[in-house]
Chain A
Amino acid sequence: MARTASNRVAAGIPAAAGLTSRQREAIAGYFFVLPDALGLLVFIGVPMILALAMAFFDVDGFGGYRFVGIGNYQRLAADPLFWKSFRVTATYVLWLVPALYVSGLGLALLVKRTNAFNGLMRCLFFMPQMVSLVVVALVWQVLAVDKIGVIPRLVSALGLGSFSFLGDPQLALFAVIFVSVWFLMGFYMLIFLGGLQDIPSEYYEAARIDGAGPLQSFWYITLPLLRPTSFFVLIVSMVAAVAGAQTFDLVYVMTRGGPANSTMMTIYYIYQQAFQYNAFGYAGALASILVLALMGITIVLFVFTRGGRFNYE
């Protein structure tokens, strides 16, 4: 609400020299944003810049810095474990994002109608989100223990054979993906529920009158009108999967990057280099590549969807 000269005078506020009311309003706005911007700068921006700068140094974690130029990037290019971690992360993303999309949307469609039973189901599906991820990882780890865990015993009882879900490099990553989906699908269900509730019911009624079945309604009404929500879900789940917001905790507790580096996500490799091997400079170089990858993904998605704008808007 713009302040006018007359009400400023009425309020007894002296006019600041040379500033229009619009400028003063803008300055006030900046002051309100300032604490948040400062927080972002101090706790996100500066550490990011420092991490990027660190990538050009050999940093031992005990106060020792030595300029190495692009040495860390040369090491990175020749480091097979970095490339393996990149492949593991890509595999994780390629499985997790579609799985979250399908499970989140599927659950949302299942519990879309408002009634007591669906209310209960929504709570149950969302419940994993209320538990610490470390606890979730520990519980699944116990459930999946070779031979004596509930899951291997169940699988064995069904005659499917004996499996080591967290000890076999062929299976461990998929075990982590499964737990990630189980943990996150309730969250994405809620987001899709919000999107579904924004679609006017008249569209479905009109389609039904025109003879459209449930599949046609889903294909021609639900999916197109969910595009903004879908875009949000895809970008958030993809960024979270690459950046390892949840993945890190699961890998740290369940597999520690093993067995045989089969769950060595890039984010965990960065952690290992920094905190277990005290190669902070190298970790900075790895982190900068991860940030670039994240920026690339985000830019591609924005370009692809023209900034998240959709035709029907």
Chain B
Amino acid sequence: MTRSTSNTENEICVSRRRILQVGAGLGALAMPFINTRYSFAAGAPLKFWQFYAPGGDVPAQSKWFEDAVAGWNASHDQKIELEYVPNSDYMNGTKLSTAFASGQGPDIFIVSPGDFLRYYNGGVLQDLTPYIDAQAQADFPESVIANRKVDDKIFGIPMEVEPMAMFYSIKAFEEAGLNENDVPTTWDELLEVAGKLTTDKRYGVLFDTNPGYYQNFTWYPFLWQGGGEFQGADGKSAFNSPATVEALKFWQDAVKTGVAPRQVLGGGGFAAAANLGSGFAAIQNVGIWAIAEMNSNAPNMPYGIFRLPIPKGGKYVTVGGGWAFVANAHGSNPDAAGEFCAWALASMDKGSIDRVVNWCTVAKSDMPPRQSALQAGGDAFLAGNMGKFSKEIYPGTRAEPRVPPEVYKIISDAIQETMLGGQDPAAVAEAASQQLDAFFAGYSGARIL
């Protein structure tokens, strides 16, 4: 028995040492490979992050990205590789922020104006001006490119302009005994028509309800229509104004009267097929991209489009958003990344112009950010619903503001507290204005536009 125990202990003892020896050996063997990511990174393809993945809502959109990258790779030594991030994670998730925080941000990615300052103020955006010739720079209207510029340098190349409008279901209108002559032109008319369209299974009108910069983006035109601004020319908050209060109250009334939902389907108010197409809402506040989405995902549903209604005494204005290519100044090859952005979207070559036309008319349904693309697209921008946007909705478009995250959070909270929280719009506007002033006083980043 003693002998046996002794043997067992002896084996255990040897085993411990073996474990440590083998562990140390494996560790030593692994050491040379730990940092290989960096040693191989120089020759590795550049990473291009975006959210138009194969199998997404509109197949032509991911194909456009694939074709663009394939075209570049066929003619350049520095290759580029597409990587996909789910839309919700891209806009409100951790993927990009953790990547940049750990120094592993993508070489090329896309940003919306609402998120531009986060990256510019973080110092990660490459100046793209040297890669775009003067003629191509002039091809972008100032109203489109301004919110991607700092000190006259271009840090993002827009791929689209996406004005907001109202889409409506013709079937729902007919069921309610309405027709195109009943299309509302004022806020009061919209609430009245929405009331007629509301049933026990359908809302009359839909505004986005999810907190975030997309909801802010969709609310800005209602602020502007009455002459409101969140920042005055003196740099101080202009949020505490009658126009702000009216705009907040308008959305609040829509929800309070039960004609607008407190929740939206399909991940957000940007999803037209999930909300308008499903019959959840009869009128939806959504952008031009919904034309392609409806064609692809609700092709048999007849719908119409009208301009954003305005308040009494207000002036028509809508907001034009849109994503832009940007390059990481701290990426593995910022020069090549910058060249790619310019080659893809901002060259005077026919291929570059056609690529923009193709994105705005085939892959998506957007207004082009370039004059040359508008001309090259010709009838594609003038026919049908695109023509409606070109002729009626797009004129009067104001660029989406670029604001730091702190500002959009304050505005987002104001919208949420009034629209869904039922709080007094005047009190909320005043409190938000004080918060904005406190922030503006200490803000030192690029100009807020």
Tell me if A260 and B2 are in contact (CB < 8 A).
no
Those of B416-436 within 8 Å (CB) of chain A: 416-417, 419-423
B50 CB to closest chain A CB, in angstroms? 19
A95 to B133, CA, bound (A): 63
Nearest 8 CB-CB pairs, A to B? Answer: A167-B262, A260-B421, A62-B122, A259-B420, A277-B405, A7-B6, A11-B10, A164-B262
A279 CB to closest chain B CB, in angstroms? 8
A interface residues, Cβ below 8 angstroms from B: 1, 3, 7, 10-13, 28, 31-32, 60-64, 81, 145-148, 156, 162, 164, 166-169, 256-262, 271, 274-280
* Per-residue interface assignment for chain B, residues 196 to 217, with 1 indicating a CB less than 8 Å from any chain A CB and 0 otherwise: 0000111100000111100000
User: How many chain-B residues does the 8 Å CB contact rule pick out?
Assistant: 50
> Provided the pairs A1-B5, A62-B100, A147-B200 are in contact, do residues A13 and B261 lie with their beta carbons within 8 angstroms?
no
* Per-residue interface assignment for chain B, residues 78 to 120, with 1 indicating a CB less than 8 Å from any chain A CB and 0 otherwise: 0000000000000011100110110100000000000000110
Q: A7-B9, A148-B280, A260-B421 are in contact. List 18 more A-B contacts (CB 8 A).
A: A31-B16, A61-B97, A64-B122, A64-B123, A81-B413, A146-B261, A147-B201, A164-B261, A166-B262, A168-B262, A169-B420, A169-B421, A257-B211, A262-B421, A274-B97, A276-B97, A278-B118, A278-B122
B409 at the interface (CB under 8 A from A): yes
* Per-residue interface assignment for chain B, residues 233 to 263, with 1 indicating a CB less than 8 Å from any chain A CB and 0 otherwise: 0000000000000000000000000100111
A161 to B122, CA, bound (A): 50
Give chain B residues whose Cβ lies under 8 Å from the Cβ of A258.
Answer: 209-211, 416, 420
Give chain B residues whose Cβ lies under 8 Å from the Cβ of A1.
Answer: 5, 9
A28 to B103, CA, bound (A): 40
Tell me if B101 and A280 are in contact (CB < 8 A).
yes
Residue A62 contacts which of B123, B201, B203, B209 (CB distance < 8 angstroms)? B123
B375 at the interface (CB under 8 A from A): no
B13 at the interface (CB under 8 A from A): yes
B44 at the interface (CB under 8 A from A): no
Give chain B residues whose Cβ lies under 8 Å from the Cβ of A10.
Answer: 3, 6
CB pairs A–B below 8 angstroms (18 shown): A11-B9, A11-B13, A28-B16, A63-B103, A147-B203, A167-B263, A258-B209, A258-B211, A259-B211, A260-B419, A260-B421, A260-B423, A271-B94, A275-B97, A275-B98, A276-B92, A276-B97, A277-B406
B265 at the interface (CB under 8 A from A): yes
> Provided the pairs A164-B262, A167-B262 are in contact, do residues A148 and B201 lie with their beta carbons within 8 angstroms?
yes
With both beta carbons as reference points, the residue of chain A lying nearest to B23 in the complex is identified as A35
B7 at the interface (CB under 8 A from A): yes
B21 at the interface (CB under 8 A from A): no
Tell me if B6 and A11 are in contact (CB < 8 A).
yes
Residue A146 contacts which of B10, B98, B262 (CB distance < 8 angstroms)? B262
Give chain B residues whose Cβ lies under 8 Å from the Cβ of A262.
Answer: 421
Give chain B residues whose Cβ lies under 8 Å from the Cβ of A279.
Answer: 405
From B124, B212, B263, B417, name the one whose CB has the most chain A CB atoms within 10 angstroms: B263
A168 to B416, CA, bound (A): 11
From B2, B92, B101, B258, name the one whose CB has the most chain A CB atoms within 10 angstroms: B101
Give chain B residues whose Cβ lies under 8 Å from the Cβ of A166.
Answer: 262-263
A271 to B92, CA, bound (A): 11
A271 to B203, CA, bound (A): 33
A258 to B261, CA, bound (A): 14
Residue A256 contacts which of B92, B123, B280 (CB distance < 8 angstroms)? B92
B371 at the interface (CB under 8 A from A): no
With both beta carbons as reference points, the residue of chain A lying nearest to B215 in the complex is identified as A258
A33 CB to closest chain B CB, in angstroms? 13
Tell me if B210 and A276 are in contact (CB < 8 A).
no
B121 at the interface (CB under 8 A from A): yes
B216 CB to closest chain A CB, in angstroms? 13
B20 at the interface (CB under 8 A from A): yes
With both beta carbons as reference points, the residue of chain A lying nearest to B421 in the complex is identified as A260
B182 CB to closest chain A CB, in angstroms? 23
B353 CB to closest chain A CB, in angstroms? 34
B386 CB to closest chain A CB, in angstroms? 31
Give chain A residues whose Cβ lies under 8 Å from the Cβ of B212.
Answer: 256
Tell me if B409 and A277 are in contact (CB < 8 A).
yes
Tell me if B101 and A259 are in contact (CB < 8 A).
no
A259 to B98, CA, bound (A): 26
A280 to B124, CA, bound (A): 17
Residue A168 contacts which of B16, B122, B330, B420 (CB distance < 8 angstroms)? B420
A168 to B419, CA, bound (A): 10
B346 CB to closest chain A CB, in angstroms? 25
